[in-house]
A and B are shown apart, each in its own frame.
Chain A
Amino acid sequence: QQPVQSPQAVILREGEDAVINCSSSKALYSVHWYRQKHGEAPVFLMILLKGGEQKGHDKISASFNEKKQQSSLYLTASQLSYSGTYFCGTEGKGNQFYFGTGTSLTVIP
């Protein structure tokens, strides 16, 4: 049930763009995106519910494909504050919430 993310890790220079993918073998009811800084709790970024949906704020956006089996998170003109581990997440049948495998993002000056 755990979505798989790729890449596992990425290093960017400030100002560069990145894409993080989240895939599932089955259609997802929803996909959430979170960012976690080391030693801290995950912070909610956004949720997508509909196939084909795109959503974003500032320079972070996400899409959910038509089959609802794949989502991508787009970070444009990355800033140092974007560093952290990004997780997608999805809801299970019994109201559970499962996280993806995670992607470590490091932005360097």
Chain B
Amino acid sequence: GAVVSQHPSRVICKSGTSVKIECRSLDFQATTMFWYRQFPKKSLMLMATSNEGSKATYEQGVEKDKFLINHASLTLSTLTVTSAHPEDSSFYICSASWFRAAANYGYTFGSGTRLTVV
């Protein structure tokens, strides 16, 4: 249980175009999903917390107009990188929390999206 599917796994786009990344919880409902960005050999940096039916909460320094997050249903959150530039090239990963008991919960991750902007 607690499977998260992320698509696409890889995308190459031209500078100035927009790219949408989807994150779906397959066997559970996720009221909250998280979006991370990871540079090579670095840790995962939280970009924003996506809440179903409300606006996302962005971390300091993350441009909300650049990285549009929509969480329209309990099983789907999307991240759209608008007007992409080469510096947006990165590995993007979504996650959702799962819960089994008060002391048994964690986060499950999508397989990630490798974005290359040329």
Contacts and interface: CB of A to CB of B under 8 A. Distances in A.
Contacts of B105: 47
B49 A101 contact: no
Interface in A87-109: 87, 89, 94-102, 104
B76 to A, nearest CB: 18
Contact of A97 (B95, B111, B114): B95
A32 B107 contact: yes
A98 B93 CA distance: 13
B28 to A, nearest CB: 14
Give the interface size class of chain A.
Answer: 20 to 34
Nearest to A41: B109
Contacts of A43: 109
Interface in B62-118: 93, 95, 97, 103-112, 114
Instruction: Identify which of A42, A49, A87 gathers the most chain B CB atoms within 10 Å of its CB.
Output: A42
Given A41-B93, A95-B32, A97-B95, A32 B106 contact: yes
Interface residues of B, number: 26
Contacts of B93: 41-42
A98 to B, nearest CB: 6
Contacts of A44: 106-108
A101 B109 contact: no
A102 B38 CA distance: 12
Interface of A: 2, 32, 39-44, 47, 49, 87, 89, 94-102, 104
Given A32-B107, A42-B93, A96-B46, 9 more contacts: A41-B93, A41-B109, A42-B109, A47-B105, A49-B103, A89-B107, A96-B49, A96-B57, A104-B41
